[in-house]
Structure 1
């Protein structure tokens, strides 16, 4: 029961951080990095990692441009453990550059067996 309450409030659960080699990109380039997964207080079974490439408009409307990665895992993350999973994604070639009207980011989600989710996002600057 205690673990269910901790999971409900997202206390002590594993975390994910997408670490990128660069946050500035040109259309058509490949973004490289890795997902860093950090264990929480208790063992937790991870179902999958998902990452979407999204665009946010000035009015805060978020549009998913494309799924960037889905990694099925079915692994248990041990307390205080650390795991790295490689990541790469090719940015669409017809993408307008970052402006005051639009910003871009990679939105990462880690999903546990009990459907609890943790999120991370990384801003990207698209330049010409």
Structure 2
């Protein structure tokens, strides 16, 4: 009961952080880094880790360009533990550069067995 309330309000919930080697890229480049998963106050079983490459345009809904990673897991994240999962993704070749109106992000989501979710967003600057 208490765990359900903590999960509902995301108090002491596990967190995910995508740590990238660089946030500036060129079309066709490979983005490298790692997902850092941090345990919460209680043990949680991880179902999956997802990351999408998205484009945000002012005044429009966020558009998913492509799934960047999906990692199915069946692991328990211990309280206050930390786990690192490698990440790499090749940026599409025909991607227009970042502008004031259009930006790009890697949107990361980790899903636990009781459908608790944790999100992370990392902006990428696409250069010419």
* TM-score, normalization by structure 2: 0.98
The aligned counterpart of 1:48 is 48
Does residue 1:66 correspond to 2:66, yes or no? yes
Does residue 1:127 correspond to 2:122, yes or no? no
The aligned counterpart of 1:79 is 79
Query: What CA deviation, in whole Å up to 9, does each residue of 1:27-82 have, x standing for no partner?
Result: 00000000000000000001000000000001152000000000011100000000
Structure 2 counterpart SS, 1:41 = coil
Give 4+ residue runs of structure 1 displaced > 4 Å after superposition: none
* TM-score, normalization by structure 1: 0.98
The count of aligned residue pairs is 128
RMSD value, Cα: 0.6
Gaps of 5+ in 2: none
Does residue 1:8 correspond to 2:11, yes or no? no
